[in-house]
Amino acid sequence: MASVIAWFGETLLSYQTLAQLGIILSLWLVSLGLSRLIGFVFPHGLDRVDFYQRLKPQLTPLYDLVIWLSLILTVKAVADQQQMDSTALNIAANLIVAWIVIRLVTNLIKSREIARLIRSFAWGLAALNIVGWLSPLIDFLEGITFSLGQGQVSIFGVITGLLTLLILVWLSLVVTGFLENWLRKVPAVNPSARVLLSKVARILLIAFAFLFAVSSVGIDLTVFAVFGGAIGVGLGFGLQKVVSNFVSGVILLMDRSIKPGDVVEISGTYGRINKLAGRYTSVISRDGREHLIPNEDMVTQTVINWTFSHRMVRRHIPVGISYKSDLDLAMKLMIEAADEIPRILQDPAPRVLIKGFGDSAIDLELRMWIRDAKNGVSNVASEVYYKIWHKFNDQGVEFPYPQRDIHIVTGQKSDIIPD
C-alpha cells in the first residue's frame, strides 16, 4: 500500500504528469471533433465496399480511439525528440492499443453482456500490467489465505478457479454447439438420439469443467463428500418432481417414443413437439401457443403420437343422409369431395362405409388418409364437409332431420283410477 501511495505522489501528481494528462484529455476532445468532421465530409465513406460493410459494426466504435491514438503517438514522438518526459503519453497509448485489440477480439462473442464483461476484465488486467501493478496485486492476493478442509486456499486461487470455470463452461457450450450442428448433418442419427447425445456431452463437459476448476484451486475433492450427501437427501425429499422429470426426459430420449417434429395429443393438447428439454417437453399447438408439459406426464399418461411409426394419419368423417336420398350417389359425391382436397392421399384412396341405419338417417363414414398431420387435421375435415355440403345441395341429396311418430291413446272411463 505504501508503494502505491508513493507512486501516486511521485508519478501521477507531478507537474509533468498532470500536464501530460491535460494534453491527453485535450487530444480526446480533438479526436471526437475530427471523427464527427470526417463523418460529415465523407458521409458514405467506404459503404460501397462489401468487405467494409461486413466489418462496419465492429469498426465504427473504434474510429475515435484510432484518431486519439494517432494524435497521442504524434505528440509522444515530438516529446521524445525534444527529450521531454512522455511516461503518461506512453501509458495512455498502450492502454488505447490494448482496448482496441480487446474490443476486436470480444466482438466475436455473440452475447453482448458476456462480451462487455470479458472486455472490461481483460482491459483491467492489461491496465494493471501496463502501470506495473499486476504483480504486486497478485502477491497481495496470494498472501490472503484461509483453511478449507485439510488445505490452504488463497483469494488469488479462488479468483483463478472461478475464471477457469467460466472459461471452461463457455468452451463446453461452444463445443456442444458445434456437436449439435454436426449431428444435424448426419442423416443416420435420429432426432431423439441427437438430443440425447448433445445433452450427455454438455453434462459431461460441464462436470469436467467444474472438477478441473476446483482441482486447480487446490481444493481436495473429498471435502465435497458431505456436500454430495446433503444434495442426495435434498433430491430425495424436496426435488422429487425435478429429478423425476429429468429421468423421464432421459427415458423419452432413449426409448424414442416421441421426438422433435412428432405430432402428439396429450390431455386435450394437440400439437407438434418443438423441443425435448431436461425438465419439460415443448409442444406447439396449431394456434401458436407453446405448452410446456412435464416429462413425467409424457411418460405416465396416455400420449397419442400421430406420427410414431409413419407420417400417415387417417381421418374419419361421419355424414348422415335421408332415407329418401340416393345412397350410391351420396357415397360417390363424398369420395369426389375428398379427391378435390390436395392434402388427401390417393393411395390409400378415400372410401365410404355404411355404419348403420339410424332413427332418422343412414349413417355413412368417409375415411381418408393425410400425410402432413403437423399442418392440422381438423382443417382438412372442414374443407371436406364444405364440399360435401355443396355437392349434396347441387345433386338433391337430403340431410336428415329428426322425425318422431307420436301415438295418442285415449283411455276409457273405467280405466281411470279415481282420486
Q: For the chain of 419 residues, list the mean pLDDT of each consecutive stretch of 10.
A: 54 69 83 74 56 61 78 82 78 83 76 76 78 74 68 73 78 80 72 70 79 69 60 63 76 78 83 82 84 86 80 86 90 91 89 89 91 80 92 89 73 53
Domain count, the chain: 4
Residue 415 in domain: no
**Are both 170 and 129 inside the same structural domain?**
no
Q: Is 212 a domain residue?
A: yes
* Contact of 165 with 210, CB cutoff 8 Å: yes
Q: Which cell is 337 given?
A: 369431395
Same domain, 167 and 297: no
Same structural domain, 10 and 125:
yes
Among 278, 305, 332, the domain boundary falls at 305
248 located within any domain: no
**416 occurs within a structural domain:** no
- Phi then psi dihedrals of residue 78, to 5 deg: -65, -40
The last residue of a domain, from among 93, 116, 143: 143
Length, in residues, of the chain: 419
The residue among 291, 186, 305, 205 whose CA lies nearest residue 255 is: 305
- C-alpha to C-alpha distance for 217 and 272, rounded to whole angstroms: 47
pLDDT at 306: 76
Q: State phi, psi for 290 to the nearest 5 degrees.
A: -105, 115
The C-alpha cell at 239 is 426435488
- Write out the H or E segment, with its range, that includes residue 363: strand 362-370
401 lies in a domain? no
What local confidence, expressed as pLDDT, does residue 417 receive?
52
pLDDT at 295: 85
77 within some domain: yes
Omega of the bond prior to 348 within 30 degrees of 0, cis?
yes
Same domain, 13 and 64: yes
Asked whether residue 358 is assigned to any structural domain, the reply reads yes
CATH number at residue 292: 2.30.30.60
Nearest partner of 399 among 350, 366, 360, 352, judged by Cα: 360
Residue 344 carries which DSSP code? B
Instruction: Supply 67's cell numbers.
Output: 484518431
Indicate yes or no: pTM above 0.85: no
Answer yes or no: do 13 and 139 share one domain: yes
Q: Which of 98, 114, 143 is the last residue of a domain?
A: 143
pLDDT of amino acid 189: 64
CA separation for the pair 325, 358 (Å, rounded): 14
Q: Are residues 125 and 169 in the same domain?
A: no
**Grid coordinates of 5:** 501511495
Q: Can you read off the three cell numbers belonging to residue 328?
A: 350410391
Residues 62 and 159 grouped into a single domain? no
Quick one: cell of 237?
425429499
CB neighbour list of residue 285: distance below 8 Å, 6 or more residues apart: 269, 270, 271, 291
Same domain, 336 and 273: no
- Taking the C-alpha atoms of residue 336 and residue 266, their distance in angstroms, rounded to an integer, is 33
How far separated are the first and last CA of the chain, in Å rounded? 116
Please indicate, yes or no, if residue 387 is contained in any of the structural domains: yes
- Please name every residue paired with 320 in a beta bridge, in sequence order, or none if there are none: 363
Q: Does residue 15 sit in the same domain as residue 117?
A: yes
> What's the domain range around 384?
313-395
Give the Cα-Cα-Cα angle 64, 68, 72 (nearest 5 degrees): 175
